[in-house]
């Protein structure tokens, strides 16, 4: 095959004499979306060219020609000047085709002993490690923003809810830190996942390994920044567990985003009025001028469905594939790319969205019913008994149409003789939260301790 014929045939074309149906070419191609891995594909190919010198397939001069040629291809991609050809199926064939145009026939040696099977697996892992590093950085920034805001606003009290009913007074910071704790565990999971992504497939060939003696896969791994070499060539080319895990991580992360978004949507409503959303993250109504809609939060909440769908769809494609590489695995990229893009956008929006305003006015003394029970516990009465007494006090206040704090000492003594003048101290919400001073509690000391622990992680 001479001249430009090399650049016009497919890598697998020698077996075939007929033309590919254009519909099949469009159905089969992946360049339209896997081109985003151009930099990783070039990095992998440059490292592989260097490794081929040790096998005797390439001379040092040829390897340098390939490295320099690939660098030029990369410059074209970076400048937005790379022009895809109609026959380019994917990022690998596009880059190799352009390399041949730039440096000639020596480019044909680059693919020796290598398959697109191990090449695409390598590119994906390289790309994903870069993205994971970015997600870890953004997630750490989110936790730091939340922790610092919690420290600044530690004096703000609000109702804590169970079953969306007012339960006990807490600090706003405590609520914020509860969400930050979810995100801190997300970061831990992401770091553990990155170690499993950092496994080199290059050198596995199509499935059985590289046939050329002298190929140093350990050196390849070091060159490309992988922690370990894939221990089994069949596993290396077929494994997409790391894709599944990433999609699972994005789905779980989005659930945590949805939880805080829901809290803030509720608390920013006129009925609650605890927080006000910044104009930068709100929209108005097309017909009702008074409205300020929490669209950013609603979109954050809605993205959880999209991210779960990415995970579920890929798992259905992945579940029934026989060993080793099958074209079904091409379905890994679009959900992965979308999940990473969506998660990155969610992080950036969430970092800027939190803006608390008023909460203490919603604190009511009925939320201190447990404190009333605890008051009697400190007088030596069993909690199961004091719980019943406190419930009777709530009922008495309801019957009289007053608050718990409006009950007199004489009223309370009709329920139990252990009530004394100091029961008046129970109705201070600040004292209530300060009594929750055990590790993880909502006292100022406990909250600030949580802040410092979170910030110390990054």
163 labelled catalytic: yes
Per-residue DSSP letter, 283: B
Cβ(233)–Cβ(121) below 8 Å: no
How far apart, in Å, are the Cα atoms of 241 and each of 122, 141, 306, 315, 328?
A: 14, 28, 20, 10, 14
Q: How far apart are CA 352 and CA 251, in angstroms?
A: 21
Q: How many Å apart are CA 31 and CA 34, to the nearest integer?
A: 5
Tell me if 433 sits within 8 A of 423, measured CB to CB. Answer: no
Q: CA–CA separation, 252 vs 67, rounded Å?
A: 41
Q: How many residues does the chain have?
A: 458
Active-site annotation holder among 163, 256, 296, 388: 163
What phi and psi values does residue 57 have, to the nearest 5 degrees?
A: -70, -40
To which H or E segment does residue 215 belong? none
**DSSP classification of residue 321:** P
Question: At CB < 8 A and 24+ separation, what contacts does 227-231 make?
Answer: 227/195, 227/198, 227/199, 228/198, 228/199, 228/200, 229/199, 229/200, 229/203, 230/199, 230/200, 230/201, 230/203, 230/204
Query: Cα–Cα distances in Å, from 450 out to 4, 239, 403, 446?
Result: 65, 39, 33, 6
- Segment 317-326 long-range contacts (CB within 8 Å, at least 24 positions apart): 318/240, 318/243, 318/244, 321/238, 323/207, 323/234, 323/238, 324/117, 324/207, 324/234, 324/235, 324/237, 324/238, 325/117, 325/206, 325/207, 325/237, 325/238, 326/238
Which of 134, 285, 323, 388 does the annotation list as catalytic? 285
333 to 50, 90, 92, 330: CA distances (angstroms): 28, 12, 14, 6
Q: Which residues are catalytic?
A: 163, 285
């Amino acid at each position: 095959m001479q001249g430009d014929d090399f650049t016009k045939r497919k890598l697998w074309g020698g077996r075939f004499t007929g033309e590919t149906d254009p519909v099949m070419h469009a159905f089969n191609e992946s360049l339209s979306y896997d081109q985003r891995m151009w930099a990783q594909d070039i990095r992998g190919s440059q490292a592989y060219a260097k490794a081929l010198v040790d096998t005797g397939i390439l001379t040092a001069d040829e390897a340098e020609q390939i490295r320099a040629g690939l660098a030029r291809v990369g410059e074209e991609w970076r400048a937005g000047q790379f022009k895809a050809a109609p026959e380019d199926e994917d990022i690998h064939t596009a880059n190799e085709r352009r390399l041949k145009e730039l440096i000639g026939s020596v480019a044909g040696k680059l693919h020796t002993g290598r398959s697109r099977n191990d090449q695409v697996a390598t590119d994906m892992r390289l790309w994903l490690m870069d993205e994971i590093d970015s997600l870890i950085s953004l997630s750490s920034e989110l936790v730091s923003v939340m922790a610092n805001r919690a420290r600044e606003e530690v004096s703000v009290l609000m109702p804590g809810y169970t079953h969306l009913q007012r339960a006990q007074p807490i600090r706003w910071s405590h609520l914020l830190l509860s969400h930050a704790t979810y995100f801190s565990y997300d970061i831990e999971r992401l770091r553990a996942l990155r170690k499993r992504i950092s496994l080199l497939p290059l050198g596995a060939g199509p499935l059985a390994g590289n046939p050329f003696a002298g190929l140093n896969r350990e050196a390849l791994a070091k060159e490309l920044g992988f922690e370990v070499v894939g221990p089994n060539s069949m596993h290396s080319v077929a494994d997409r567990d790391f894709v599944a895990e990433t999609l699972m991580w994005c789905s779980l992360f989005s659930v945590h985003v949805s939880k805080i978004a829901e809290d803030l949507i509720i608390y920013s409503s006129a009925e609650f009025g605890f927080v006000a959303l910044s104009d930068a993250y709100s929209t108005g109504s097309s017909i009702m001028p008074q409205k300020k809609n929490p669209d950013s939060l609603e979109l954050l909440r809605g993205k959880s469905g999209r991210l779960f769908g990415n995970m579920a769809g890929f798992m259905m494609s992945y579940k029934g594939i026989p060993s080793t590489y099958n074209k079904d695995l091409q379905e890994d990229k679009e959900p992965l790319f979308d999940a990473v893009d969506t998660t990155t956008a969610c992080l950036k929006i969430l970092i800027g969205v939190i803006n608390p305003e008023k909460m203490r006015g919603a604190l009511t003394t009925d939320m201190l019913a447990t404190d009333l029970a605890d008051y009697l516990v400190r007088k030596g009465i069993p909690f199961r008994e004091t719980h019943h007494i406190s419930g009777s006090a709530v009922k008495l206040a309801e019957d009289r149409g007053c608050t718990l704090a409006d009950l007199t000492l004489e009223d309370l003594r009709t329920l139990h003789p252990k009530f004394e003048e100091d029961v008046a101290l129970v109705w201070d919400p600040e004292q209530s939260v300060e009594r929750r001073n055990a590790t993880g509690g909502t006292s100022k000391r406990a909250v600030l301790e949580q802040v410092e622990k979170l910030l110390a992680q990054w």
